[in-house]
């Protein structure tokens, strides 16, 4: 063959939905056949969905995945495109993260992932065993190397081995989660392999939300001369046909399209929307409910919910108490109106008074303080959970990363809920994303064109409104200062000495470090949320709850 067409299936599978994933790939194969494709490439562990985690330890699950691959192999007896499909399999040495190459009605080859990642959000050494160093697969006369995800990221020399053993081109199925700037990182990883092997390389990335992770797609290919041959979109399913020609210098991708990619706040926002939409839809929730306080965090969560699901599936509830300002009441109402979603007011004065009356004799002689403030938050949480139980709507949690870091949130109160779309956005990032959304609406969003969030919500001083004239800065440093300290402590693991050298007050840094550590128990009980930064709480950062270390 001097030419070949390879269809790149950037699709959104669902973990555990083996039948649904199989049907999705069958549909993609039919479209690829209509476009004249010879081969369809799918993403890492496509049949099982990614990440399947401990599901792969269940023998019945592995059997079901294999049967799906065999059924797909039988489809290829029709003379249409072959398929490269990812799936977990039971081998003689243990469980493998594998791909099967299907053609002519058969499984013509299987290759296993060699380099198993065990850092950050990855824990593959726990459930898989590494495969042998692979050779290329001969597909209709073309020798194809298939390094699986970490096989191109790591330093085990998988791509070099494939090149040395005769591979003519490299097709890499991936499951690479999003963080800001990740596409540039992937480009550099692929270019390194292209330079070292002298071969063209296609990087196909999965799409969709899976619990806390978002896979943003953004698949691409580089030719052997280090030029970008094509770039697929982020945050959208797509089937691209890559056309290859064999010349004197080997294979080359010709005529590829380069999609424009979102940057900065645009990409963060789309990641939040995709992760939220998939969590709600893949778990079968018909609607969501959230407390709309008139503050920036609940407002951006409401906007994300409407953009992800449509206004008809979003229910906002204002839960005022005696300290709730008229400004907050009007801002919350204006936000719900701008988004077009249902808005109700449920006053909490009576239930809070009831709790206070019940505790009056027990609390006699004590001063009012955080306990009474938390009663307000927990009353709101109870009401939202009651609405959820009655109508089946998932409660949306609305705390940002700055608050989650220092424990500025109430267990069984504002931390109640099923999912938090801004859990990994610091407060200043929330403001930046809100300002961006007020000027832009990405393709596929259901909310208003512009001005999704009233400007006064963005402009006013943030407050929990749990006591008279309260502001967040009564107990926290200004958010630009707090966020910088937290990023240094969490993402960069910097010493207190180094953070102080950046110009921060030593006492403030020590205090924030202490708050960060003692809030670990709260974070362990918090709802999952979209991973946006390089290091989120949970998968990436696993600190002990019982911990006396302080950097002094």
Q: What is the DSSP string of 396-408?
A: BP---HHHHHHT-
CA distance 188 to 185: 5
Average pLDDT, the chain: 94
Q: What is the mean predicted confidence (pLDDT) over 69-73?
A: 98
Burial class of residue 235 (count of CB atoms within 10 Å of its CB; 0-12, 13-18, 19+)? buried
Q: Please tell me the distance from the alpha carbon of residue 78 to that of residue 68, in angstroms, as a whole number.
A: 17
Distance set, CA 192 to CA 159, 188, 222, 254, 446 (Å): 10, 6, 11, 21, 40
Q: Give the per-residue pLDDT at 119.
A: 85
Q: Tens digit of pLDDT for each residue in 444-489?
A: 999 999 999 999 999 988 777 667 776 766 678 999 999 999 999 9
Q: Are strands 228-231 and 137-139 parallel, antiparallel or unpaired?
A: unpaired
Map residue 82 onto helix, strand or coil: strand
Q: Note the helical H segments in 310-400.
A: 326-339, 349-363, 370-391
Q: What value does the CA radius of gyration of the chain take, rounded to a whole number of Å?
A: 26
Model confidence band, residue 498 (pLDDT cutoffs 50, 70, 90): very high
Peptide bond into 51 cis (omega under 30): yes
Residues 293-347 have pLDDT tens digits of: 999 999 999 999 999 999 999 999 999 999 888 999 999 999 999 999 999 999 9
Looking at residue 121, its pLDDT comes to 86
Q: Give per-residue pLDDT as tens, 517-545.
A: 999 999 999 999 999 988 888 777 888 88
Q: Reply yes or no on whether 465 is catalytic.
A: no
Q: Where are the alpha helices (DSSP H) in 94-149?
A: none
Cα atoms in the Cβ-side hemisphere of radius 13 Å centred on 393: 25
Cα gap 545→535, rounded to integer Å: 18
Q: How far apart are the first and last CA of the chain?
A: 67
Return binding residues for ATP: 291-298, 398
For this structure, is 44 an active site residue?
yes
**Calpha distance 451→437 (Å, rounded):** 7
Detail the residues annotated as belonging to a binding site.
119, 176, 182, 291-298, 374, 398, 403, 522
- Select which of 44, 150, 243, 465 is catalytic: 44
The three-class DSSP label of residue 48 is: coil
238-291 per-position pLDDT tens digit? 999 999 999 989 999 998 899 999 999 999 999 999 999 999 999 999 999 999
Q: Is 113 an active-site residue?
A: yes
**CB burial string 92-130: b at 16+ within 10 A, e below:** eeebbbbbbbbbeeebbbbbbbbbbbeeebbbbeebbeb
Residue 182 to residue 190: CA distance in whole angstroms: 12
pLDDT score recorded for residue 282:
97
Q: Is 161 a residue whose pLDDT tops 80?
A: yes
Question: 113, 282, 423, 427: which is the annotated catalytic residue?
Answer: 113
Q: What residues form DSSP beta bridges with 69?
A: none
pLDDT on residue 534: 85
> Quick one: which of 289, 234, 288 has its CA closest to 261?
234
Residues 24, 65, 124, 149: which is the catalytic one?
149
Residues at the binding site for deamido-NAD(+) are 374, 403, 522
Q: 369 with 342: CB under 8 angstroms?
A: no
Please give the model's pTM, rounded to 2 decimal places.
0.94
Q: What is the pLDDT at residue 323?
A: 87
Tell me what the mean pLDDT of segment 204-212 comes to.
96
Tokens representing residue 469 in the block: 């004239």
Instruction: Encode 469-503: b = buried (16+ Cβ within 10 Å), e = exposed.
Output: eeebeeebbebebbbbbbbbbbeeebebeebbeee
For residue 72, CA distances in Å to 18, 64, 69 come to 12, 13, 5
């Amino acid at each position: 063959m001097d030419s070949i067409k390879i269809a790149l299936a950037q699709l959104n599978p669902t973990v555990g939905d083996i039948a649904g994933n199989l049907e999705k790939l069958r549909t993609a194969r039919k479209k690829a056949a209509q476009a004249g494709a010879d081969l369809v490439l799918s993403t890492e562990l496509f049949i099982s969905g990614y990440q399947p985690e401990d599901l792969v330890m269940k023998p019945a699950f592995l059997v079901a995945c294999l049967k799906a691959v065999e059924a797909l192999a039988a489809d290829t007896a029709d003379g249409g495109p072959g398929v490269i499909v990812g799936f977990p399999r039971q081998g003689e040495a243990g469980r493998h993260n594998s791909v099967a190459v299907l053609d002519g009605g058969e499984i013509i080859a299987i290759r296993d992932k060699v380099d198993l990642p065990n850092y950050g959000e990855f824990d593959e050494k726990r459930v898989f065993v590494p495969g042998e160093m692979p050779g290329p697969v001969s597909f209709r006369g073309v020798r194809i190397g298939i390094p699986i995800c970490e096989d191109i990221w790591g330093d085990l020399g998988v791509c070099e081995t494939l090149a040395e053993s005769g591979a003519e081109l490299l097709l890499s199925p991936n499951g690479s989660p999003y963080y800001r700037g990740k596409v540039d990182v992937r480009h550099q990883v692929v270019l390194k392999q292209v330079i070292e092997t002298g071969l063209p390389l296609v990087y196909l990335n999965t799409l969709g939300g899976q619990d806390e992770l978002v896979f943003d797609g953004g698949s691409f290919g580089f030719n052997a001369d280090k030029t970008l041959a094509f770039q697929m979109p982020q945050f959208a399913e797509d089937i691209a046909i890559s056309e290859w020609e064999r010349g004197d210098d080997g294979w080359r991708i010709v005529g590829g399209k380069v999609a424009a990619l979102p940057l900065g706040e645009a990409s963060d926002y789309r990641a939040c929307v995709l992760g939220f939409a998939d969590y709600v839809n893949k778990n079968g929730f018909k609607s969501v409910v959230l407390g709309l306080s008139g503050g920036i965090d609940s407002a951006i969560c409401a906007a994300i919910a409407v953009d992800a699901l449509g206004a008809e599936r979003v229910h906002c509830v204002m839960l005022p108490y005696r300290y709730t300002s008229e400004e907050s009441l009007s801002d919350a109402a204006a936000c719900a109106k701008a988004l077009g979603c249902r808005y109700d007011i449920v006053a909490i004065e009576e239930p809070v008074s009831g709790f206070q009356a019940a505790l009056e004799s027990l609390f006699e002689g004590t001063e009012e303080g955080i306990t009474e403030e938390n009663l307000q938050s927990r009353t709101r949480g109870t009401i939202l959970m009651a609405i959820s139980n009655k109508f089946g709507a998932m409660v949306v949690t609305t705390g940002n990363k700055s608050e989650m870091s220092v424990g500025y949130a109430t267990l069984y109160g504002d931390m109640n809920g099923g999912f938090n779309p801004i859990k990994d956005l610091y407060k200043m990032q929330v403001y930046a994303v809100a300002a961006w959304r007020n000027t832009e609406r990405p393709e596929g969003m259901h909310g208003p064109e512009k001005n999704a969030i009233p400007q006064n919500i963005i402009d006013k001083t943030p407050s929990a409104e749990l006591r008279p004239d309260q502001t967040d800065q009564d107990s926290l440093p200004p958010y630009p200062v707090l966020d910088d300290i937290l990023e240094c402590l969490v993402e960069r693991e910097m010493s207190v000495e180094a953070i102080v050298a950046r110009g921060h007050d030593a006492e403030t840094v020590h205090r924030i470090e202490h708050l960060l550590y003692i809030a670990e128990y709260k974070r362990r009980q918090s709802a999952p949320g979209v991973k946006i930064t390089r290091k989120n709480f949970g998968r990436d950062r696993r600190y002990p709850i019982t911990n006396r270390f302080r950097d002094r």
